[in-house]
A and B are shown apart, each in its own frame.
Chain A
Amino acid sequence: MSTASEVKRLYAKGEKRKALIILYAFIVLLIIIVISVSLGAGSPRFMEAAQVILSRFFPFLEIDPEKTDEIIILTFRLPRIVLAIIAGAGLAASGATMQGVLRNPLVSPFILGISAAAGFGAALAIVLGIVVFSPYTGYMVVANAFIFSMLAMLMVYGIACLRGITPETVILAGVMVGFLFSALLSLIQFVAPEYDALRAVVYWLMGQLHTATWEKNLIILPIVLVANALMVRHSWDINVMSLGEETATSLGVNSKRVLVICITLGTLATASIISFTGIIGFIGLVSPHIARMIIGSDHRFLLPCSIVLGACLLLCSDTLARLVFMGSELPVGIVTSLIGVPFFFYFLLSRRRQLWH
């Protein structure tokens, strides 16, 4: 057997192994979903949940679940499980993509300062009732958070353009815009005339999933789905870009274009998620790192793996968040870091793979 075909065979074997890892991660996610749907402050457990879901999808079985169980499972538990999966997946994919194109392990989906901008937008609506544009009064906070996130992104591109768009200018401009908006956010918090509004803002900033509804999920899902698909499509370009801008150019990849496209997609997905959930920060930073340790830095596999891991991690966190006190909720943003950090260290210490090069 010639060396070339030997190499090809090894490569194909590696690819198969990586695909298997993603499949395993997906199975783990399914298991977590089953556990999550069976647990909560309400009484329905696995059997009741199964009854409710079966009765909904197969009405001819004539299973007749209790009305309260039905409401608890269909109106509260399932939508928030779905939201946790969408949000986890979207944040993780954005994180992995941005870390890739900016070639920086500290980058999170909030690199363009959008967490502070979204917080500022939300606070404007909560505290002062100032709303830029909202199609429907129930979504004033959401619309404001989203609009200001987009504004932050445009500001970053505007500033970065002045010196030419490179990873460095984008990161620096993002940090600055972030500081600008967090100052404005503090200003609103400081002048807030009502203590309750202040608490509501702080609460929003901690991030929560218990306000999930099918309606919100239907708005977020298409955005995250399309953004994630487009990011995965660019994974080969991101691989090439990790070799450096000159090499990328010589291989026919327009670094600037890919960078702007990928960051825009990531920011769009992240902004649409956090506008509904508040700031859930840790997932987008840590999921790509864990995925990188498990599967390596080929973005064609790294991205899907991050997506599944992000969904697992956020769903796990949210399940815990609603179990700790049973009757009351813990903001999920707190739990994500509390369980994500030990998880991260476990992988850091148990893997020998070269992480960043």
Chain B
Amino acid sequence: MKKRTVVLSVVIIVLVIAALAYATLVYIPSETAPEKETITIVDVLGVAVEVEVPVERIISLASDLSEIICALGSEDKIVGRDGTSIFPPSILEKQVVGESSYNPNLEVLLELNPDLVVSDSMLTNETRQMIEGAGVPVFISTTGELDPRSTVTAINFTGQLIRKFGLILGEEEKADEIVDYMESYENLVNERIKNLTASEKPLVYYEWYMPWYSCVTASVAHAGGINIAAEEPTSFPTLSPEYVVEKNPDVIIRMITSLEHDLVDFETMREEILNRPGLSEVNAVKEGRVYIYDYVVRTGMRLPAGLLYWAKWFNPSLFEDIDPDEIHKELIQEFFGIELEGVFAYP
């Protein structure tokens, strides 16, 4: 009886191992499709990605990249998306292949038979290799703060990215149009802040999604402010509360990151900062210069809006004639042809 159990166990173990080995062997990348014109584009990680153009079936695993593709008039080429890609609303009909790029379902993804997968840098290297192993090129980019110390402005970087997408999708003219539009606002800001001396620029405390958590980003300087965290040794430092109070920032900006939120969330967050123990004597709180914004205005297509919000908060007298809300609406109307709804900055 006992011997039989042992034999049975061994047989089962051997069978399981054999099945696994077989599954691994069968999973060999399929033959590549017949030759089309191939171009090489370099992604944000410095990887040269070979893509056959024009791409017809694309999967986007990042909301900002999805928006760019749609603005380029190529929404119909998107065959799959991640859960964070929710704009423009018509994209909701596309198949979801994962909550975010962190954990896409590879079976669903590959079954959609894409020509290209685009993603932000949360896609792990292992996942990338598996997708590439199946013969699908992967292009990784971000329009937020991948390298916060970079001196290239977000709009400049994203402009280059949009041109690459234009090339991939065969929409180069449209890409140029978008980039020109974005750069026109960057030039406007540069022109107006260029004569500011260091003493005229406000000190800015840029808070991410947790109290005291900040970022060394040069974007604050690009919008005409001085980032009190700029000199910190880590890219995303947790600032010492003592340090923040002693620096006495003139403006506090805080981003809201949840996908769904309404005006109440903005108000609650601002109240928390205005009433946070220890901040009462800080200039920004005394003068009510505490601003909350939706992080999407600092990504992708919407960067001009984000830049203008910041620029106006930092130096209101220079931008009296500018209404960032209106420009955000105009931008969405122009490139997506829809009316923008919701709150993106407060107050």
A contacts, CB < 8 Å to B? 40-43, 67-68, 71-72, 75-77, 138, 190-198, 200, 203, 208, 210-211, 213, 322, 325-329, 331
Contact = CB atoms under 8 A, between A and B. Distances in A.
A71 B232 contact: no
A193 B281 contact: no
B237 A327 contact: yes
B232 to A, nearest CB: 5
B99 A210 contact: no
B274 to A, nearest CB: 14
A351 to B, nearest CB: 37
B283 to A, nearest CB: 11
Contact of A195 (B122, B239, B242): B122
A193 B259 contact: yes
Contact of A190 (B103, B234, B237, B245): B103
Contacts of B258: 194
A125 to B, nearest CB: 13
B87 to A, nearest CB: 15
Interface in B142-173: none
B198 interface: no
Contacts, number: 103
Interface stretch (B24-32, B68-76, B203-211, B298-306): B203-211
Contacts of A138: 272
B54 interface: no
A211 B272 CA distance: 14
Nearest to A329: B238
B110 to A, nearest CB: 20
Given A195-B122, A200-B209, A210 B240 contact: yes
Given A68-B246, A211-B211, A76 B278 contact: yes
B245 A42 contact: yes
Contacts of B239: 327-329
Interface of B: 83-84, 99-100, 102-103, 122, 208-214, 229, 231-234, 237-243, 245-246, 248, 257-259, 272, 277-278, 280-281
Contacts of B245: 42, 68, 71-72, 76
B102 A195 contact: yes
B240 A328 contact: yes
Contacts of A42: 240, 242-243, 245-246
A221 to B, nearest CB: 17
B277 A196 contact: no
Contacts of B122: 195
Contacts of B229: 327-328
Contacts of B232: 325, 327-328
A31 to B, nearest CB: 22
A94 to B, nearest CB: 27
Nearest to B102: A195
A197 B84 CA distance: 14
A30 B180 CA distance: 64
Given A42-B243, A75-B277, A326-B243, A191 B233 contact: no
Nearest to B236: A199
A71 B281 contact: yes
B194 to A, nearest CB: 29
A213 B211 CA distance: 13
A196 B278 contact: no
A71 B209 contact: no
Contacts of B280: 71
Given A196-B257, A200-B210, A210 B241 contact: yes
B238 A210 contact: yes
B4 to A, nearest CB: 31
Contacts of A197: 209, 257
A326 B239 CA distance: 9
